[in-house]
């Protein structure tokens, strides 16, 4: 459904096409009768996510990562660990986020942001997390009282 509005969706009053969004019913199907590891500060790392999946979780959330940090991360394959790492090349390849094939299609990336454009720049850019195939979805958190540093 993403992008469906571009091809021939209904037009808004200003003439721009309106993006077609899934209905509430189809959205709720994604979560109906599922066992989900909820987002937890400093706990939703890869080892806990894999443990939750091995214990029967259908979906797992990662810890919240701030858009300012994610924006500069690049995707690298870590052959030694068998993971995909998103690293900050300018910070000695500091790992921002790590995933692996065992959680593909079942991992929800949680993004903290103070603006829609900032979120889009962080994950929606060419080569970004949203387009990588590494995550099943992105949860945008714009209401957390946590400071953005």
Q: Kindly list the catalytic residues.
A: 144
Count the Cβ atoms, other than its own, within 10 Å of residue 129: 23
DSSP string, 11-38: BPTTSPBPPP---HHHHHHHHTT--EE-
Among 67, 126, 119, 118, smallest CA distance to 96 is for 67
Round to whole Å and give the CA distance between 25 and 70: 31
Cα distance between residue 26 and residue 79, in whole Å: 37
């Amino acid at each position: 459904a993403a992008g469906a509005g571009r091809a021939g969706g209904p037009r808004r009053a200003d003439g721009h096409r309106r993006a077609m969004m899934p209905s509430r019913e189809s959205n709720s199907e994604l979560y109906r009768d599922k066992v989900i590891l909820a987002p937890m500060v400093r706990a939703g790392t890869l080892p806990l996510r894999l443990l939750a999946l091995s214990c029967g979780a259908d979906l797992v959330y990662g810890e919240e990562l701030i858009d300012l940090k994610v924006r500069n991360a690049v995707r690298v394959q870590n052959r030694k660990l068998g993971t995909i790492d998103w690293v900050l090349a300018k910070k000695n390849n500091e790992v921002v986020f790590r995933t692996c094939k065992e959680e593909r299609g079942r991992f929800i990336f949680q993004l903290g942001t103070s603006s829609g454009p900032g979120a889009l720049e962080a994950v929606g850019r060419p080569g970004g997390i949203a387009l990588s195939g590494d995550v099943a979805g992105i949860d945008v958190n714009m209401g957390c009282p946590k400071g953005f540093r």
